[in-house]
């Protein structure tokens, strides 16, 4: 069901044939994201993502939207820290139409000066929307503090200043250098024939010219540990707590996923049950795992009132210490494995998720990771494995970073976090 071909021009084509699907999901992925930017051009990948939709020599922005609407399909895009994706979902019979439009967007985007000037305003409105949403903005604040001085600490959207300063030639050159065939992966999931897909993609994308992304170097970050408080007049106080995790290519990530499910990755997790359900101190609280090429983080995020913030922090720290010292139970291990596998199976019911999984496997591993292998990895984890990873990441609670957005008493926060 899985097949891979590297075209003569360097594009990697990966397909997964699923005979019982009536829809097809296609994504064109580039190994380009905010991590590969610098302080001067921060936000350029996200800017390029927007510009792909602004029209080509053959189609206006309206034409692109109209042609997908006419077949009942959908098209969208997103920018991450280590990749950018333009993707569509259509009926199987309309795959050729989707390839025609997507290839046109990549090969023939106008990148006109007028459109770029208009989009500066649009993107700056998007930046302000995030800044007005503290539950989103807190993650940018945490990354800026934890990965201080490194590209992983920069916002994916860029800043108002950097977006305003991007020049048209700079955008065009970056697009040429980082979005070439050697940096491109096209993944398709659904009822498709691999050889036919390769032939069509060869026909549509043969005109791509090579870039220079292969020359770039990626430097692993050195986390900056501390307590960072960003004062703002808000009704609630928002916080993000984080420490070193593992990379996307480290098999210990499965151990971390299990720890995450137990601590705060579900409604029945320790943190949610104790702090939300039993004590009613927060509306929501959860933990999460972020994995990159060469590093990762384990984090906990929540918000509370100014009056309750110190008690919430004390309870979170208590849970961290408890898990580090006591580990987990057999029942918790069994529960978390079922939880993770159940989520995985449900997600893979959709062709979009399968298409994305193909791409991420190729980006990080250069090959396909069969679902059976993933399940074996999860099933093989022992209670002692989770205890080991918990001791490693929570070894010294003073080395766990805390970022707060809101109005708090710094001395009280520091006293609780360091006690």
Give me the CATH number covering residue 105: 3.30.830.10
pLDDT surpassing 70 at residue 184: yes
CA atoms of 299 and 223, how far apart (whole Å): 13
Section 178-201 average pLDDT: 96
Any domain includes 125:
yes
> What Rg value do the Cα atoms of the chain yield, rounded?
23
User: Of 186, 215, 244, which one is at a domain's C-terminal end?
Assistant: 215
Number of domains in the chain: 2
CA atoms of 51 and 33, how far apart (whole Å): 15
Q: What is the pLDDT of residues 305-358, one digit of tens each?
A: 999 999 999 999 999 999 999 999 999 999 999 999 999 999 999 899 999 999
Q: Does 395 qualify as catalytic in the annotation?
A: no
* List of residues 6+ apart from 307 with CB closer than 8 A: none
Q: What is the pLDDT of residues 366-412, one digit of tens each?
A: 999 999 999 999 999 999 999 999 999 999 988 899 999 999 999 99
Does one domain contain both 142 and 248? Answer: no
Does one domain contain both 108 and 29? Answer: yes
Does one domain contain both 185 and 279? Answer: no
Any domain includes 221:
no
Does one domain contain both 138 and 237? Answer: no
CA atoms of 134 and 141, how far apart (whole Å): 10
The reported pLDDT for the residue numbered 399 is 87
Annotated catalytic residue, options 49, 82, 319, 332: 49
pTM of the model: 0.95
Any domain includes 222:
no
pLDDT surpassing 90 at residue 298: yes
pLDDT surpassing 80 at residue 58: yes
Does one domain contain both 206 and 275? Answer: no
The reported pLDDT for the residue numbered 356 is 98
Specify the range with the lowest mean pLDDT, choosing from 4-8, 17-21, 274-278: 17-21
CA atoms of 332 and 330, how far apart (whole Å): 5
Q: Which two tokens stand for residue 374?
A: 């993933």
Q: What range does the domain containing 34 cover?
A: 2-215
Q: Is 62 exposed, middle or buried (0-12, 13-18, 19+ CB in 10 A)?
A: exposed
Any domain includes 220:
no
Contact between 309 and 317 under an 8 Å Cβ cutoff? The reply is no
Task: Return the H-helix or E-strand segment holding 413.
Answer: helix 410-418
């Amino acid at each position: 069901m899985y097949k891979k071909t590297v075209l003569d021009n360097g594009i990697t084509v990966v397909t997964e044939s699923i005979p019982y699907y009536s829809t097809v999901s296609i994504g064109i992925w580039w190994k380009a994201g905010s991590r590969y930017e610098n302080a001067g051009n921060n936000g350029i990948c996200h800017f390029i993502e927007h510009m792909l939709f602004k029209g080509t020599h053959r189609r206006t922005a309206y034409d692109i939207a109209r042609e997908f609407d006419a077949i009942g399909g959908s098209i969208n895009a997103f920018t991450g820290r280590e990749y950018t994706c333009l993707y569509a979902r259509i009926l199987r019979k309309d795959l050729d139409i989707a390839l025609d439009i997507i290839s046109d967007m990549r090969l023939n985007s106008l990148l006109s000066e007028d459109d770029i000037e208009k989009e500066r305003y649009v993107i700056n409105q998007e930046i302000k929307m995030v800044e007005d949403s503290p539950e989103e903005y807190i993650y940018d604040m945490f990354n800026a503090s934890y990965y201080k001085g490194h590209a992983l600490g920069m916002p994916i959207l860029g800043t108002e200043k950097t977006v305003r300063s991007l020049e048209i030639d700079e955008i065009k050159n970056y697009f040429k250098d980082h979005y070439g065939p050697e940096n491109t992966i096209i993944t398709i999931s659904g009822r498709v024939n691999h050889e036919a897909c390769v032939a069509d993609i060869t026909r549509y994308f043969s005109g791509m010219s090579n870039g220079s992304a292969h020359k770039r170097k990626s430097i692993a970050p050195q986390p900056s540990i501390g307590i960072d408080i960003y004062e703002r007049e808000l009704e609630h106080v928002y916080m993000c707590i984080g420490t070193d995790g593992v990379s996307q290519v480290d098999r210990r990530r499965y151990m971390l996923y299990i720890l995450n499910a137990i601590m705060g990755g579900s409604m029945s997790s320790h943190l949610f049950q104790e702090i939300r359900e039993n004590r009613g101190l927060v509306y929501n609280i959860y933990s999460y795992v972020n994995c990159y090429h060469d590093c990762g983080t384990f984090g906990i995020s929540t918000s509370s009132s100014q009056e309750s913030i110190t008690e919430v922090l004390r309870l979170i720290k208590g849970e961290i210490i408890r898990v580090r010292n006591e580990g987990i139970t057999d029942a918790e291990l069994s529960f978390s494995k079922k939880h993770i596998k159940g989520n995985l199976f449900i997600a893979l019911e959709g062709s979009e998720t399968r298409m994305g999984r193909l791409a991420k496997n190729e980006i990080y591993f250069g090959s396909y990771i069969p679902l059976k292998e993933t399940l074996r990895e999860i099933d093989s984890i022992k209670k002692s494995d989770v205890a080991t990873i918990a001791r490693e990441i929570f070894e010294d609670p003073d080395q766990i970073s805390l970022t707060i957005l809101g109005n708090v008493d710094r001395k009280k926060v520091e006293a609780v976090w360091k006690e």
